[in-house]
Structure 1
Amino acid sequence: MRITVVGSINLDLVASAPSLPAPGETVTGASLARHPGGKGANQALAARRLGAEVALIGRVGDDEMAGAATALLRADGVDLSGVETDPAAPTGVALITVDPSGENQITVAAGANHLVTPEQLPARIETPLIAQLELPIPTVEAAVGRATDFVCVNLAPAAPVSEALLRRADLIVVNETEAAFYGEALHAGGGMVVVTKGARGAVMYRHGVETAWATPPRVTAVDAVGAGDAFVGAIAVALLEGMEPDAALHFACAAGALAATRPGAQPSLGDRAEVEGLMKA
């Protein structure tokens, strides 16, 4: 199986703090770590670790952070030939605060991600496609429009998109906040819609009718950053492998739960044996 991911590449600066700051509040006593991140890169690595051959299309800056942001992708064999280096913009950075329960606050400085244009895309994307909304919307729309195979769109962060994109997607993945943003428009096409609900699991719909439901294994959450991206990579791989919806949802919930037990986005992503082992535990 070969998958193309069109998406963001970031370096995450993660402060693990005793609590999340309220507006105007300063919280001290945090520890700082750097991890590769970005929704596109995370989902690409998630799918790769679960057995797919993955090519990533994106953009980084001509700076030291680019190497750190792509290090795990290179190590795991993700095809980065579609990742361009921009001399005029920095690599994207996410500033993340995480509390002891795993809850987080995230601020993203997109940098080179916002300079990925439709001209950087191939004329046709003939493999299954995974896309998100951390790139310019016209670029995401172009990628979906050029795809000739299965299309998975993670509508995150929520932003207005065309009706054509919603109708073209074979699989839409959103969390509850994003589902509320799009409302009934999510169900306008004939594809699958999955709404994730954190520790409560995920539900799949077709034409607005619930068709499958799954809950994740019980785990002790350390850091929820990357858990949603682990879910997206896993649900896409599972469905492309031919798993039935119930089984695919259970597999994806386990992948997300496993990611929540480890700090960082990409370092937390499990391989196939780990995910299947958690499902059996």
Structure 2
Amino acid sequence: MNNIISYGEILWDLLPSGALPGGAPMNVAYHLQKLGQSPALISRIGLDKRGKDLLTFLKTKNVNAAHVQLDYHLPTGIVHATANVHGEMQYDIVSPVAWDNIEVEDDTIPLVKQADYFIFGSLAARNKTSRDTLFTLLEDANTKVLDINLRAPHFNRAIVESLLQKADILKMNESELQLIADWFGNFKTATDRITMIQQKFDIPNIIVTLGADGALMNTNGNLNPHKGFKVKVADTIGSGDSFLAAMITSIIQQRTPDETLTFACALGALVASRSGGCPDYLPDEIHELINKQKQL
């Protein structure tokens, strides 16, 4: 029984240092699995070596890939990733690729109906086939978690607004918050932007990641901040994805908003201190980081 479905892109990040398995939905599923949840992926790969290698990777990480579809025409997704002068990753997301072509299969809707959480993003909505499938599945999804992931030029306002209207939980970063808020007016503070989006789209839970400065969580109008954890950053790939996995796990475990934010920020920091989106770690290391900060 899979309690969480992660929908969308799986791919290879082609970094200067080499190729790493990636895609936010896959990264989130990996971290959910590490945290003791039972996620399943809905995605699509090509009939090529990259696709085969992704399946092998998922199998070694015990992530359910039974619903990853095979495409006979399009290749497995790739992203050319390079760091800018500030150390932030810049992504050239190749298209069209297999995950642009995710279809509704016989077992897809029953799978989504039985899951407690359905995680999706805006990137998988860039192509009509995967977008239509996404909106079909959202009709039957239970708690809908939007990890917005705005990557120019792979989104447009109308589709993003349609996705926001579906969300029960919304996660975004600071620049995404500002970009969306600016569509509707001139808001001076992050709190004002969050409040406007929460009210306009009726989203109970909004989480905004602030990089090294931690995160904000607004639950039904109550704002909780966390200042984050100081670590030596290896790269930021997958940090936000691990943050989301920790958030959902904490919500399932009925932790308080403060405990939820602390746990999520700690895992995000731990992952940022290691290379790649899916580094190995033990859950105990998250608690060690939290306890270490408490002692400071």
TM-score (normalised: structure 1)? 0.85
Deviations 1:15-34 (A, max 9, x none): 1xxxxxxxxxxxxxxxx311
* Matched letter for residue 272 of structure 1: P
Q: Map 1:110-121; keep pairs closer than 5 Å.
A: 110=95, 111-118=97-104, 121=108
CA–CA distance in 1 between the matches of 2:134 and 2:258?
28
1:157 aligns with 2:150: yes
Structure-2 change in CA distance of 1:218 and 1:12 (3 Å)? same
Structure-2 change in CA distance of 1:155 and 1:228 (3 Å)? same
Report the alpha carbon displacement of residue 186 of structure 1 after superposing the two structures with TM. 4.6
Report the alpha carbon displacement of residue 163 of structure 1 after superposing the two structures with TM. 5.2
Q: Which residue of 2 aligns with 1:126?
A: 114
Task: Find the partner of 1:34 among 15, 19, 31.
Answer: 19
Report the alpha carbon displacement of residue 99 of structure 1 after superposing the two structures with TM. 6.4
Q: Map 1:82-121; keep pairs closer than 5 Å.
A: 82-98=67-83, 102-110=87-95, 111-118=97-104, 121=108
Report the alpha carbon displacement of residue 250 of structure 1 after superposing the two structures with TM. 0.9
Q: For structure 2, list consecutive stretches of 5 or more residues without a partner in the other structure.
A: 126-130, 182-195
* Matched letter for residue 171 of structure 2: V
Task: Find the partner of 1:273 among 264, 284, 288.
Answer: 284
Task: Find the partner of 1:67 among 52, 68, 73.
Answer: 52
Deviations 1:242-271 (A, max 9, x none): 1111111111111111111111112x2644
CA–CA distance in 2 between the matches of 1:64 and 1:34?
13
CA–CA distance in 1 between the matches of 2:136 and 2:82?
33
Q: Which residue of 2 aligns with 1:26?
A: none
Report the alpha carbon displacement of residue 102 of structure 1 after superposing the two structures with TM. 4.4
CA–CA distance in 1 between the matches of 2:263 and 2:55?
26
CA–CA distance in 2 between the matches of 1:140 and 1:279?
36
Report the alpha carbon displacement of residue 191 of structure 1 after superposing the two structures with TM. 1.5
Report the alpha carbon displacement of residue 180 of structure 1 after superposing the two structures with TM. 1.7
Q: Map 1:255-266; keep pairs closer than 5 Å.
A: 255-266=267-278
Q: Which residue of 2 aligns with 1:202?
A: 215
TM-score (normalised: structure 2)? 0.81
Q: Which residue of 1 aligns with 2:176?
A: 178
Percent identity for Structure 1 against Structure 2: 27
Q: How many residues align?
A: 262
Deviates more, 1:250-259 or 1:187-196: 187-196
Structure-2 change in CA distance of 1:76 and 1:196 (3 Å)? same
C-alpha contact (below 8 Å) 1:222/1:260 kept by paired residues = yes
Pick the structure with more helix per residue. 2
Report the alpha carbon displacement of residue 232 of structure 1 after superposing the two structures with TM. 1.2
1:227 aligns with 2:239: yes
Task: Find the partner of 1:243 among 251, 255, 261.
Answer: 255
Deviates more, 1:151-160 or 1:162-171: 162-171
C-alpha contact (below 8 Å) 1:4/1:54 kept by paired residues = yes
The higher-RCO structure (CA 8 Å, 6+ apart) is 1
Report the alpha carbon displacement of residue 166 of structure 1 after superposing the two structures with TM. 2.6
Report the alpha carbon displacement of residue 213 of structure 1 after superposing the two structures with TM. 1.2
Report the alpha carbon displacement of residue 162 of structure 1 after superposing the two structures with TM. 6.2
Pick the structure with more strand per residue. 1
CA–CA distance in 2 between the matches of 1:190 and 1:106?
29
Q: Which residue of 2 aligns with 1:146?
A: 140
Task: Find the partner of 2:206 among 173, 177, 193.
Answer: 193
CA–CA distance in 2 between the matches of 1:44 and 1:165?
20
Task: Give the match's secondary structure for 1:69.
Answer: helix
Q: Let me know the Cα RMSD of the aligned residues.
A: 2.2
